[in-house]
Amino acid sequence: MGHKILESLRKIYFGLINSIIKAYNAVKTFAKTRRILFIVSSSVLFTVILLPTLFFTLRKSKCIYGNCKYGFGAKEFRDGTRYAGEFYNGFYNGTGTIRNPEGHSYEGAWILGKKHGKGRYLYPDGSSYEGEFVEDIKQGLGLFTWPDNTKLSAVFVNGEPEGKGILRLSNGIEFIGEYKKGVVYQGKGIYIYDDGSKYMGEWLNGKRHGKGTLFGEAGNIIFIGEWENDQQKKAMSLNNPPSKK
């Protein structure tokens, strides 16, 4: 039944396209100037836009198991993403799991197609977030775990840790600090930079201040010592120690 509907839509769509092309050629034949005002009625234009959108939307996913409207089922998308869980009126609703080919996955609560409630999100690099979600955003008490088993327990606001956070390293050492928009604002904590390097130590007003260590991407120590207002002070480069005279 679905294939017949899609085939009918396809015939209607391409029939309209052919009609428009013929009409355009007819106007062009009788035109005596280079400027031609070609007006397509809004109803025809809307149909031409709507039908291909509907045509491809109907094909972008398929129900491969159970009831994907109301109840429990499994849905697969053209890019290989799969969802298995509860549905309500076609939306993910209740408990379910979604995975994509890139390695992202989520298992937990859903409300009308959005991650909402308790759940666990796994990233391709092996890091994960387990805690509360509100409309697809990390919001509430949560635990973020890095691949090296470093863990951050904090309250998340708009996807970032906010307020008091407890950072526990894989060796059991703990840092307690205040976070503001995802960055340690005051106290002790760690910050991982885009290039993979990271700073671990004391902070003041969102800047590196006090005792701290800067690590390279591979985990090697680059600088260790005192920091002041985000700048190195009395810091010694271990990779290039001072020469002895």
Distance, in Å, from the CA atom of 92 to the CA atom of 112, rounded to the nearest integer, reads 6
Whole-angstrom distance, CA of residue 87 vs CA of residue 110: 9
List, in order, residues 6 or more apart from 44 with CB less than 8 Å away: 16, 20
Q: Which residue has the tokens 């391409």?
A: 14
| Phi and psi at residue 172, to the nearest 5° | 95, -10
Query: Average pLDDT of 2-25?
Result: 50
Residue 227 scores a pLDDT above 80: yes
pLDDT tens figures, 77-121: 999 999 999 999 999 999 999 999 999 999 999 999 999 999 999
State both tokens at 159. 């996807």
Whether the model clears a pTM of 0.95, i.e. scores above it, the answer is no
103 DSSP 8-state letter: S
pLDDT digits (tens, 9 = 90+) for 145-180: 999 898 999 999 999 999 999 988 888 888 888 888
DSSP 37-73: -----HHHHHHHHHHHHHHHHHHSEEEEEE-SSEEEE
**Can you tell me the distance from the alpha carbon of 24 to that of 27, in angstroms, rounded to the nearest whole number?**
5
Residue 233 forms beta bridges with which residues? 226
Phi, psi (rounded to 5 degrees) for 153:
-105, 120
**3-state class of 32 per DSSP?**
coil
Q: Mention every residue, 6+ apart, whose C-beta is less than 8 A from residue 203.
A: 177, 184, 185, 186, 187, 188, 189, 209, 210
**From CA 199, how far away is CA 244, in angstroms rounded?**
28
Residue 137 predicted with pLDDT over 90: yes
Q: With bands split at pLDDT 50, 70 and 90, how would you rate the model's confidence at 15?
A: low
- What pLDDT, on the 0 to 100 scale, is given for residue 46? 36
**Amino acid (1-letter code) at residue 184:** V
